[in-house]
Amino acid sequence: MKKKRSSLSVLLGYAGTHKYFTYAALVLSTISGVIALFPYIFIWKIVKELVEVAPNFENATHIVSNGWIAVGFALGYILMYLLALMCSHIGAFRVNRNMREKLMDHISKMPIGEINDFGTGKLRQITLDTAGIPENYLAHQLPDMAQTYVTPVAMIAMLFVFDWRLGLVSLVPVIIGFAMMFTMVGPSLKDEMKKYQDSLADMSNEAVEYVRGIPVVKTFNQSVFSFKRFANSISNYAKYCYGYTQKTRKHMALLITAINVVVCFLVAFTLIMSGVKMIDDIFIVNLMFYIIFTPIIATCFTKVLFMSENTMLVDDALERVNSILSIEPLKEPENPKEPNGFDLEFNNVVFNYKTANINAVDNVSFKVKENSLVALVGPSGGGKSTIANLIARFYDVKEGEIKIGGVNIKDMDKKTLRSTISYVFQDNKLFRGTILDNVRLAKPDATEEEVIKALELAQCGDIIAKLKDGIHTVIGSQGTYLSGGETQRVCIARCFLRDSKILLLDEATAFADPENERLVQLAFANLVKNKSVIMIAHRLSTVKNADRIFVVKEGKIAEEGTHDELVANKNVYAKMWADYQEAITWKVGR
């Protein structure tokens, strides 16, 4: 069986040669942890000398020298610790950069469908928030961990150097503290921490979906609780936070009390010793040392407590990072081929989503000739959008093959496939940036003149005319926003700029008002020329003149033909057409 790598080993793998900075940080932090104890010895020497010469304090001749030595060790500790942090931060920053670069590179190679299934909110939370946890761990907590291991050992040794009886008394609250701490950071905490992080990731993902649905919430005057999944994710997050807090509050209170009352134990022991007359000047001097020295026990315990918790956080963070990295990227062919023409062909294609028990596309075969217009229609959830997603290779088919120009799309490199296909979604998005940059996404090296021409062909003249800075206007800044229909037209301009030979239209006018729909239709009239067009539509009037109509139902091609042929068949399409005709003639009764 292959031994599982530790989290630290995995993190250092991201550091490359910068891991030596992390090693140096551990060494320097260990040295600083030992040096930090020496000032207490020399402070005790000052107290001891004062007690010994009292009341003739003029005979105390070593106070200044011992004081400066204590200051020297304190400064040495600060210097060593600063050097340790400097080294640890250099290594941590490199790990953070390399981890996020690897994540973003992997995400860029993932099938788009897998990204949607994973959840954009969860991807953001892992990439930005979760991936930042190891940085804090390496930069701060790991150097402190080195001190945490060394300092208690040196501290316990020093407790028994001066008076073993006082040393044992000082250890009583330490033992109590360890017992309380283990109940909180023991094996059970790992499961609790995972539940907490899962609930946080789910809440982040559902928050993104909720924000996207705010127009619906406002339109129907609903509250957050109308989005049950978001409300449930908030409840789950609160439940795990509150539950763990309730579970550990008594133990935490006892721990904090124990590690902060060491002096009380010492005083109580001193009173007992005084009752049996076993106190002398040496005992009092040693007691002074323990009173000065034992407060660092609280500091050590705090570091140990958070060290255990932070180690679990890092373990969980790496598991979440690996949940992304474990998703298979879109495979690139070793010997890519170029399509010979732009005929599109489905051959016995089968596909199912990971969470589904039935096939979303089940043994589908059809052909689309080059420069023809075909339509995919059928009941909602029948598989139309899935077919379009498979053409664009947002997912890979489970069985069968999809060919363009006689070449399996899996044998085409990503660049060729992307340049061959353009996709207009139901609800396209614009990024925060200029209109110029948004349109240039389709062709990064396009000139401004080419972008302006594409915008004109997409009927965007009225949009550009009303903007102060024209195509250089930044969308989303200073109150500059576009309506759904205007956004759709700008996105269509991308298709004009790319000028792909295959065009996928998935309910492209679904969210447009009548005026925008008219302009979108004018844009499409120019866009579909000399292209193979696959159109998904519920408004059957928009596909009436298609060269071929495929009726998709329950993942299968139920029937195909022209509009007239399908109506004459009096089957699925004929019923859909009759229902559509009835719907458009329906009027609200007076």
Residue 450 tokens, joined = 């080419």
Same structural domain, 241 and 294: yes
Same structural domain, 352 and 309: no
Q: Over the stretch 212-229, which tens digit does the pLDDT of each residue have? A: 666 655 554 555 555 677
pTM: 0.67
Give every CB contact of residue 385 below 8 A, 6+ residues apart in sequence.
506, 536
Instruction: Give yes or no for a contact between 65 and 43, defined as CB atoms under 8 angstroms apart.
Output: no
Residue 570 tokens, joined = 């009096």
Angle ∠(253,255,261) on CA atoms, nearest 5: 100
> In this structure, is residue 141 part of a structural domain?
yes
Same structural domain, 201 and 348: no
Q: How many domains does the chain have?
A: 2
Examine the pLDDT at 538 and tell me if it is beyond 60: yes
Examine the pLDDT at 1 and tell me if it is beyond 50: no
Q: What CA–CA distance (Å, rounded) separates 332 from 411?
A: 8
Cα dihedral sign, 123-103-333-491: positive
Same structural domain, 352 and 492: yes
> In this structure, is residue 338 part of a structural domain?
no
Model pLDDT, residue 71: 93
Q: Any idea which of 78-92, 277-291, 411-425 has the lowest mean pLDDT?
A: 277-291
What are the Cα distances from residue 167, in Å, to 163, 262, 302, 354, 491? 6, 11, 20, 61, 75
Q: Which of 278, 294, 325 is the last residue of a domain?
A: 325
Q: Over the stretch 509-536, which tens digit does the pLDDT of each residue have? A: 655 566 767 787 788 777 888 888 888 8
Same structural domain, 292 and 387: no
% the chain with pLDDT above 90? 17
What are the b/e assignments for 204-218, b being 16+ CB within 10 Å? bbbbbebeeeeeeee
Give every CB contact of residue 228 below 8 A, 6+ residues apart in sequence.
none
Q: What CA–CA distance (Å, rounded) separates 542 from 547?
A: 12
Residue 433 tokens, joined = 């940036």
Examine the pLDDT at 72 and tell me if it is beyond 90: yes
Q: What is the mean pLDDT of the chain?
A: 81
Q: What SS3 state is found at 361?
A: strand
Say which CATH number the domain at 461 has: 3.40.50.300
Q: Which residue range(s) make up the domain with 93?
A: 7-325
Model pLDDT, residue 203: 77
Give the pLDDT mean for 435-461: 90
Say which CATH number the domain at 269 has: 1.20.1560.10
Model pLDDT, residue 209: 66
Q: What CA–CA distance (Å, rounded) separates 94 from 15?
A: 6
Q: Any idea which of 13-22, 23-32, 123-132, 405-414 has the lowest mean pLDDT?
A: 123-132
> In this structure, is residue 337 part of a structural domain?
no
**Which candidate, 409, 411, 437, 439, places its Cα nearest to that of 421?**
409
> In this structure, is residue 422 part of a structural domain?
yes
Same structural domain, 276 and 350: no
Q: Over the stretch 267-324, which tens digit does the pLDDT of each residue have? A: 888 888 777 667 777 777 777 777 777 777 666 666 666 666 677 778 888 888 888 8
Q: What is the largest CA-CA distance in the chain?
A: 121
> In this structure, is residue 336 part of a structural domain?
no
Same structural domain, 168 and 135: yes
Give every CB contact of residue 334 below 8 A, 6+ residues apart in sequence.
none
Same structural domain, 367 and 292: no
Of 503 and 426, the one with more pLDDT: 503
Task: Report how far apart the first and last C-alpha atoms of the chain are (Å, whole number).
Answer: 77
What are the Cα distances from residue 547, in Å, to 76, 562, 563? 84, 6, 9
Q: What CA–CA distance (Å, rounded) separates 581 from 512?
A: 21
Q: What CA–CA distance (Å, rounded) separates 45 from 64?
A: 11
Same structural domain, 281 and 374: no
Same structural domain, 461 and 523: yes
Same structural domain, 239 and 277: yes
Q: What CA–CA distance (Å, rounded) separates 447 from 450?
A: 5
Give the pLDDT mean for 92-109: 90
Q: Which of 295, 325, 355 is the last residue of a domain?
A: 325
Q: Which of 325, 355, 388 is the last residue of a domain?
A: 325
Same structural domain, 348 and 313: no
Q: Over the stretch 469-490, which tens digit does the pLDDT of each residue have? A: 888 988 876 667 788 778 888 8
pLDDT level of residue 390 (50, 70, 90 thresholds) = very high
Model pLDDT, residue 204: 72
DSSP letter assigned to residue 140: I
Examine the pLDDT at 350 and tell me if it is beyond 90: yes
Model pLDDT, residue 192: 67
Cα dihedral sign, 535-539-542-544: positive
